[in-house]
Amino acid sequence: MSLIIAHRGASGYLPEHTLEAAAYAYALGADYIEQDIVLSKDSIPIVMHDIYLDFTTNVKKIFPNRKRKDGHWYVRDFTLSELKKLNVNERLKGDAKEKAFSNRYPLEIGTFKICTLSEQIELIQGLNKSTQRNVGIYPEIKNPSWHRKEGLDISSVTLNQLKDYGYASKKDKIFFQCFDSNELKRVKYELNSSLPLIQLIGNNAWNESDDDYSQMISLEGIEDVSKYAIGIGPYLQLLYRVSTLDGVIRPSKLSHYARDNGLYIHPYTIRKDSIPLDFDDFDKMVKWFASELKADALFTDFVDLTIQAIR
């Protein structure tokens, strides 16, 4: 059965990347829990998907005058003590006025706080102790080149903290991911990390890195990825094609390239409220990726529903 990765924790049910979302994902049966990492002003690894605070916190209300000229409030500009004054809310759309997913956790209810990487690791390791399970972590360093321009080496800081908590080798319950291929190569060859690396693959329009993902998904691109990473993390639509002859959904060339080069396939993101139009319903989508594609792991906002669909 495919490993189940809690995407930003139990983000389908609670505000993403909070300790509550991590604890609920653990309770729902996740095999791994994801942590996106950005650095604070005092260089502390913070669990947050964006380098901005605009879309998942009340920063505009608490620190109305701390935005940059581009109109964004940056995690980088706040110390941990300042970040702890903020409340975390359900993710907003790009205009920061409406929820990204209308039927998810209400904006007006609850008090959730930003957490650090160390706080989330300690929660998961504590639960591993008390439950006798062994749930892993799945950190992603966000925008390493941007952090470097800000004078911060997010890779070194994060790797050092992971090592402090016992995550330093391939045998440890961890995957380490990034969209930036040059940074993953640096992690492996310059920083001499033995962690299992996953190359995330996105869309060039997302500006996640300077990589050309259209080239990365070619045979030559995947052959290069296999030299430094043990797997790929593509978005769902890259892994299948719909036949124009019979309408059957089949694995894409990328899927075959990855398998031929011995790479794990960890696609993102399984959501019941955002199903690709090529699939009739949630269960059929999950079963295709788990049974037809035989994905090694699935990133999902809905851990319980994904497990149920597979079983």
161-195 tens-digit pLDDT: 999 999 999 999 999 999 999 999 999 999 999 99
Confidence check: pLDDT of 22 > 90 = yes
- For 73-89, give one letter per residue: b (16+ CB within 10 A) or e: bbbbbbeeebbeebbbb
Does the pLDDT at position 96 exceed 90?
A: no
Positive/negative CA dihedral, 294, 299, 305, 308: positive
Q: Are the CB atoms for 270 and 301 separated by under 8 Å?
A: yes
Facing residues of 116 across strands?
Answer: 46
Is 81 part of any domain?
no
Count of beta carbons in the 10 Å neighbourhood of residue 58: 14
3-state helix, strand, coil in the chain (%, to 5): 35, 20, 45
Nearest-angstrom CA–CA distance, 55 and 57: 6
Residue at token pair 């908590």: 165
Q: How far apart are CA 108 and CA 276, in angstroms?
A: 30
- For 39, 79, 221, 262, the CA distances from 123, given in Å and listed in that order, are 20, 22, 38, 33
* 146 within domain boundaries: yes
Quick one: pLDDT at residue 200?
98
Residue 64 lies in a domain: no
Nearest residue to 152 via CA among 87, 77, 81: 77
Catalytic residue among 17, 49, 147, 266: 49
Which distant-in-sequence residues (6+ apart) come within 8 Å of 33 by Cβ?
A: 5, 6, 9, 22, 25, 26, 120, 124, 135, 136, 137, 138
CATH classification at residue 149: 3.20.20.190
What pLDDT digit, counting tens, does each position of 97-136 carry? 899 999 999 998 999 999 999 999 999 999 999 999 999 9
**Token pair recorded at residue 23:** 């604890």
Find out whether 40 and 78 touch, Cβ atoms under 8 Å: yes
Query: Does residue 188 lie in a domain region?
Result: yes
pLDDT for 119: 98
Q: Is the peptide bond before 269 cis (omega within 30 degrees of 0)?
A: yes
What three-state secondary structure class fits 251? strand
pLDDT digits (tens, 9 = 90+) for 223-278: 999 999 999 999 999 999 998 888 899 999 999 999 999 999 999 999 999 999 99
Range of the domain at 162: 3-53+115-310
| Residue 1 pLDDT greater than 90, yes or no | no
pTM exceeds cut of 0.75: yes
Spatial contact of 4 and 31, defined as CB atoms under 8 Å apart: yes
Exactly one of 7, 17, 147, 266 is catalytic; name it: 7
Confirm whether 62 is domain-assigned.
no
68 belongs to a structural domain: no
Residue of 303, 310, 298 whose CA lies nearest to 266: 298
Counted domains in the chain: 1
Query: Residue 264: phi, psi to the nearest 5?
Result: -70, 155
Clarify whether 7 is annotated catalytic: yes
Q: Of residues 306 and 247, which shows the higher confidence score? A: 306
The confidence score (pLDDT) of residue 24 equals 99
**Is 142 a member of any domain?**
yes
First to last CA, the chain: 9
61 falls within a domain = no
Average pLDDT of the chain is 97
